[in-house]
Structure 1
Amino acid sequence: MARPLIADIDLDALRHNYRLAGDLAPNSRAVAVLKADGYGHGAVACARALLDLAPAFAVACIEEAVTLREAGIRTPIVLLEGIFEASELHQVEALGLWMAVHSDWQVDALLDYRPRLPIPVWVKVDSGMHRLGFAPERLEAVWQRLKAAPGKACDLHLMSHFATADLDDRGYFTQQMARLGVLADRLGAPLCLANSPATLARPEAHGAWNRPGVMLYGSDPLETATPQSARLAPVMTLRSQIIAVRELGAGECVGYGGRFRTSRSTRIGVVACGYGDGYDRHAVDGTPVLVEGMRAGLAGKVSMDMMTVDITDIPEAGIGSDVVLWGRATNGEVLSVDEVARYCDTISYTLLTGVLPRVPRRYHHGQG
């Protein structure tokens, strides 16, 4: 019998979340972001599930684009970080990719290249994230340089990224939007600005294109949930089973370092999942799991291949019981990956992208 740990991927939930992104921004087109292997869900399977919905996909680098093309995906693909060296432009052209441009050397490489067909370019401006992009005062010169180069680029778009669109405090987001509004008016540029939080909660940022990412996978990126974000459906359910049960008296230690000590007669369930599978070792005692659809808590440090949970208050739980580490239980109960992430002092992105290849992905169509 195979080890019971598996990542169930509900492709209908993925489609539901993509449709939600579209419903929230009916005058925009949505690029489905598939970087980091579809945020750990499997980029190829997710792309295939969205083929009839998404007019474009986005990845971080050319290697990720090659994976999609080799799988037969012909939908336009945007390279969100552009090229990393000039020689990649041959692949950009051959694969029919779109590319972001954020640095002078990329502009120089593009203008020195002689493509047979124009390469669509999304020019990135640093409106306040201070990561990638041209300074606002330099953007117009770069834009005009690309625009004036015949045959080199087409469908120029203005692109930026928000630092705080997920926060309740709108102050810095408003500053970024003001800078971008001035540039858009001056250039007459179509915009691609909205990430997942801005797609969900900042309609003023909706442009010609939006870039929903983690929201497609059912994670709520907002500091405070909204009625819109509450409509997101979990796509990944990380599930396993109890493989052993220990009956302990009060005062017994559990796991490495004896961090958890029983305060009463306690039943401990041993679950086949650990940090060697990508579950976060920083999870504290009490981090929730669902056992047979009922909430239980982590009891002791996460090991490489196992974890221990307190099942004292779930008397029907035993060897073979279903355990959901995050996602949807068979009784319909949902444990949000965002809640689990808070107990690990991290964010859902790290949990989802951290599920390692030894955990099989099982794709299915659920109730999304």
Structure 2
Amino acid sequence: MGRYRPLRADIDLDALRHNYRLAQAQAGSGRCLAVVKANAYGHGATACAHALADLAPAFAVAMIEEADALRDSGITHPIVLLEGFFSPAELPLIAEQGYWPAVHQAWQVDALLAARPARPINAWLKLDSGMHRLGFSADEAVTQWQRLAACSHVQGLHLITHFATADGADDAAQQQYERQRACVTDVVERLNALGYEVPCCLANSPATVRGNAQGAWHRPGIILYGAAPCDPKVRSVSLKTVMTLRSRLIAIRSLAAGEPLGYGRGFIAPHAMTVGIVACGYADGYDRHAREGTPVLVGGQRSRIVGRVSMDMLTIDLTDIVAPTLDSDVVLWGRAEDGTVLAVDEVAQGCDTISYTLMTGVSARVPRRYHRS
């Protein structure tokens, strides 16, 4: 656990490597960027990048600050900046460090063309194929590609897009996904007709799993960390759990029928019951909105949240748990000591959120412990 408080996030780096290899196997002839933005989805970017350094040919982050942290830790791989740059003043550093920026607005193209970098810059032109967040329309993308391709200090030009519904199984999601793929195909064919080769980076985690959005690069993110990348109706994959958020009981209490528990009398004992107090709360990143019944493991046995999650503690039902003690291992999500797994996706459902918010929300006061098998 931590030095004193019994809470930590155990990070299984071998599971991370397994998941990367699985993603690469789905990518066909394409190569996989390892997406380590947002502190590697809460897992620790530098530790995860070093664990993948012999497997991944490049990494992806959101911004320069995240890329700089990797460089400062000794990572020398190319690093894609998925949000690009926010000012022309960043371009000298981008060139010096070998960062590969996404380019999604006309002013960025203008800034790149006007720059006089010490080294050529590898630019990734962002196509808005239907996400309608960042990027150029199909016509704009063709025009801006030609401008960048004619520039001597822009090299390694790629086309990148983002699929909005690759993770969905319903008809509307499927139709949106196919429309976006058709938009990409149209732009690539138009550029091919003008004589350009167009290496693409199309597939995020769910599209990588689907296997029908091939390109020169894939960019697996959530799949690396063991959370389900898409609706199982689309396709399931054999991921391994990377993060286990675990603690221990710090108190065991008995409640009589009708007694309240926690803030605001949010839970009233329906019968005589035993409850356990766990050293983990919303200041640690456990979602305050977890509903009664959100699952938890105690010594590998399934239990449930009762009462409101507090800043530093939460309360669980121990009534049906066999022989709970203050030494009992409590897993908020991940793998118990006996190998039982509580998927972070299941916990997220109990919190009316997604696994991304839970994992990225694990706060800095929670120690990360890294291990290999």
TM range (shorter): over 0.9
Aligned to 2:164: 163
Take 1:59 and 1:20, find their aligned partners in 2: how far apart are those partners? 21
Task: State the Cα distance separating 1:221 from its structure 2 match.
Answer: 2.3
Residues of 2 paired with 1:227 and 1:192: CA distance? Answer: 21
1:363 alignment counterpart: 370
The equivalent of 1:214 in structure 2 is 222
Instruction: Quote the Cα distance in structure 2 between the aligned partners of 1:6 and 1:214.
Output: 21
- On the 8 A contact 2:284/2:362 being kept in 1, the answer is yes
8 Å Cα contact 2:348-2:358 kept in structure 1: yes
Question: In the TM superposition, what is the alpha-carbon distance from 1:22 to its structure 2 partner?
Answer: 0.6
Worse-matched range after superposition: 250-259 or 212-221:
250-259
Q: Partner of 1:100 in structure 2? A: 102
Q: Which runs of 5+ in 2 are unaligned?
A: 193-197
- Superposition map of 1:150-189 within 5 A: 150=152, 152-169=153-170, 170-188=174-192, 189=198
Counterpart residue type for residue 349 of structure 2: R
Counterparts of 1:313 and 1:126, CA distance in 2? 53
1:182 and 1:135 mapped to 2: Cα distance? 11
CA displacement at 1:71 relative to structure 2: 0.5
Deviates more, 1:295-304 or 1:184-193: 184-193
Q: Which residue of 1 aligns with 2:306?
A: 299
User: What residue number does 1:62 align with?
Assistant: 64
In 1, distance between residues paired with 2:50 and 2:233? 29
Deviation at 1:116, TM superposition (A): 2.6
Residue of 299, 314, 321 corresponding to 1:314: 321
Report if aligned partners of 1:35, 1:43 keep a CA contact under 8 Å in 2.
Answer: yes
Q: Aligned pair count?
A: 363
Q: Tell me which of 217, 231, 244 is aligned to 1:223.
A: 231
Residue of structure 2 aligned with 1:39, choices 28, 38, 41: 41
| Aligned pair partner of 2:201 in 189, 192, 198 | 192
User: Which residue type is aligned with residue 15 of structure 2?
Assistant: A
Q: Sequence identity, in percent?
A: 58
In structure 1, the residue corresponding to 2:296 is in which secondary structure? strand
C-alpha deviation, 1:185, in angstroms:
1.6
In structure 2, relative to structure 1, the CA distance for the partners of 1:227 and 1:80 (3 Å cut) is closer
Secondary structure, counterpart of 1:205 in structure 2: coil
State the match for 1:126 in structure 2. Answer: 128
Deviations 1:234-284 (A, max 9, x none): 110000000000011111111111121212221100000000101000000
CA deviation vs aligned residue, 1:49-70 (integer Å, no higher than 9, x gap): 0000000000000000000000
CA distance in 2, matches of 1:70, 1:192: 26
Instruction: Write the distance in 1 (CA, Å) between the matches of 2:340 and 2:235.
Output: 19
Query: 2:260 and 2:291 mapped to 1: Cα distance?
Result: 15
Which amino acid is 2:156 matched to?
Answer: D
Q: CA deviation at 1:224?
A: 2.4
Structure 1: gaps of 5 or more residues: none
Counterpart of 1:4, as a letter, is P
Higher mean displacement: 322-331 or 216-225: 216-225
Report the alpha carbon displacement of residue 137 of structure 1 after superposing the two structures with TM: 1.6
Q: CA deviation at 1:228?
A: 4.0
Distance 2:36 2:15 in 1: 15
Q: Give the residue type in structure 2 aligned to 1:163.
A: A
Name 2:195's counterpart in structure 1: none
Offset at residue 94 of structure 1 (A): 1.4
RMSD after superposition = 1.1
Q: Which residue of 2 aligns with 1:274?
A: 281
Is the 1:253–1:261 Cα contact (8 Å) retained in structure 2?
Answer: yes
Matched letter for residue 248 of structure 1: L
> How far 1:225 moved relative to its partner?
5.5
Asked whether 1:234 is paired with 2:217, we answer: no
In 1, Cα distance between the equivalents of 2:285 and 2:59? 26
Shift of 1:315: 3.0
TM-superposed CA distance for 1:351, in Å, is: 0.3
Give 2:313's aligned amino acid: M
Q: Does the residue aligned with 2:176 lie in a helix, a strand or coil?
A: helix
For residues 172-219 of structure 1, the C-alpha deviation after alignment (integer angstroms, 9 at most, x for no partner) is 100000011111122231110100110112x22121100100110000
Partner amino acid for 2:207?
A
Q: Quick check: 1:269–1:318 contact (8 Å CA) kept in 2? A: no
Q: Deviations over 1:70-122 (max 9, x none)?
A: 01100110000110101001110111111110001111111111123211111
User: CA separation in 2, counterparts of 1:288 and 1:103?
Assistant: 44
TM-score, normalized by length of structure 1?
Answer: 0.97
Q: Give distance in 2, aligned partners of 1:260 and 1:306.
A: 15
